Structure 1
């Protein structure tokens, strides 16, 4: 099981990481201090489980859980010093609620519950895009794409390590994956899971913050209200 630890206290993160070493088949794929940082790495580390604190600066644990509520992965186990949030936590779909200081026996039990929840869901289907390399057809997972940009006669799929030319137009891709691709501009689509925020420049332009890259494509005024609504809804 791939676990991402999200807690604003470094000592608490270190303790959880240490306890997880005693829990068998667990891989800690990240350790971050707030909800925004968690969103920024989700698309890169693909955790099965979040061990999530509630009271954190900025985007707190409950707000992050609300943004992820419609996903089958990652599942969430809250780790907090306060009992008062337990009812709301389960309303948000958490599989367990651990009180600090977390005991290893309770952590093992929470991991079993998390695995049962994961086993009850099939992995979400991955979209595939069709490209050509040296004239030969290849396919790539939509999850690996940073953004799709129309350039003259072609659509270029940008990944972390390379760029590939696609056979389909932006419109065809948008119609094929309406739930997975969102439009930033007339010449740019991005996978929905990549969008983590917006930033407004001094000159009034609005750029999209994308998980896994420093590249920030511009957002058109026409699409800006839709993107803001999507971010509010998670």
Structure 2
């Protein structure tokens, strides 16, 4: 891949200068412009066609979320990494599909990781666009990824990596190996959005990846219990007993 063309948008001169200094220490990147507010960020992005926008959230006029939304409506919109002093915008950043979410003052190593993530994102989307152009009829209608917040910012989680989902009030916990993340979704929305050939709902508060189910047994009350690949068990709700028979081919 050629040098990654980057635009910085931040109304704080010292913060923008810090990002410039950090970018100089990263290979294969080119800073093509700096904007001081949202309107200038949109105009500069349309002029310079950057691959990546390092975008502050709280700016006068158009804020960073509005800038990302405006640019996403055009063709070849840049990838976005939000850089902010506030963590309350994480959900909004998810909604505009930001590549990463960095907290000020930006750490050099975290910025480098975010830049690498942006490269991967850009390459994968370029490949996906190529595939779509050739195989438009093979687009998947199912959810393929999620964004969840953690102490480092935002984490991208591939749907195929999820072992199971458990409900926690208004949130869903995505379990991936020994780690888990909370997202603000309803169980019904997840069940409708995840590929039913890969995921099955076994309880009103549980979705499980089909190949994560090792087997089924009955408990003392005669209810079905799913044995999972990690050694844990998941009770099967009475309303979902037919899923057991469907999976077992009975």
Per the alignment, in what secondary structure is the counterpart of residue 80 of structure 2?
strand
Which residue in the other structure is 1:15 paired with?
18
What does residue 84 of structure 1 align with? 88
**In 2, Cα distance between equivalents of 1:99 and 1:112:** 17
In structure 2, stretches of 5+ residues that fail to align are 131-250
Distance apart, 1:68 and its partner CA: 2.0
Tell me, in whole angstroms, the C-alpha distance in 1 between the residues paired with 2:46 and 2:104: 28
Q: Residue 7 of structure 1 contacts residue 56 of structure 1 at CA under 8 Å; is this kept in 2?
A: yes
- Conserved 8 A contact 1:90-1:96: no
Asked if 1:69 corresponds to 2:72, the answer is: yes
SS in 1 for 2:126: coil
Residue 43 (str. 1) matches residue 54 (str. 2): no
- Alpha-carbon separation, structure 2, partners of 1:91 and 1:43: 22
Kindly report structure 1 stretches of 4+ aligned residues shifted beyond 4 Å: none
Residue in structure 2 matched with residue 132 of structure 1 by the alignment: none
Instruction: Find the aligned partners of 1:41 and 1:19 in 2 and give their Cα distance.
Output: 21
Partner of 2:109: 105
In the alignment, is the contact (CA less than 8 A) between 1:80 and 1:100 conserved in 2?
A: yes
User: Which residue number in structure 2 is paired with residue 197 of structure 1?
Assistant: none
Contact 1:72/1:118, CA 8 A, preserved across alignment: no
Measured in 1, the distance between the counterparts of 2:47 and 2:56 equals 21
Structure 1 position 72, deviation (Å)? 4.2
In structure 1, the residue corresponding to 2:86 is in which secondary structure? coil
Deviation at 1:28, TM superposition (A): 0.3
Q: SS of 2:72's equivalent? A: coil
SS at match of 1:36: helix
Q: Report how many residues are paired.
A: 125
Gaps of 5+ in 1: 126-234
> TM-score by structure 1 length?
0.51
1:56 equivalent to 2:59? Answer yes
CA distance in 2, matches of 1:77, 1:88: 13
User: Per-residue CA shift, 1:101-157, capped at 9, x if unaligned?
Assistant: 0001000110011011100122989xxxxxxxxxxxxxxxxxxxxxxxxxxxxxxxx
Partner of 2:161: none
- For residues 24-39 of structure 1, what are the structure 2 equivalents within 5 Å? 24-39=27-42
Measure, in 2, the Cα distance between the counterparts of 1:121 and 1:95.
Answer: 12
Instruction: Decide which of 118, 125, 140 is 2:122's aligned counterpart.
Output: 118
Distance 2:92 2:47 in 1: 28
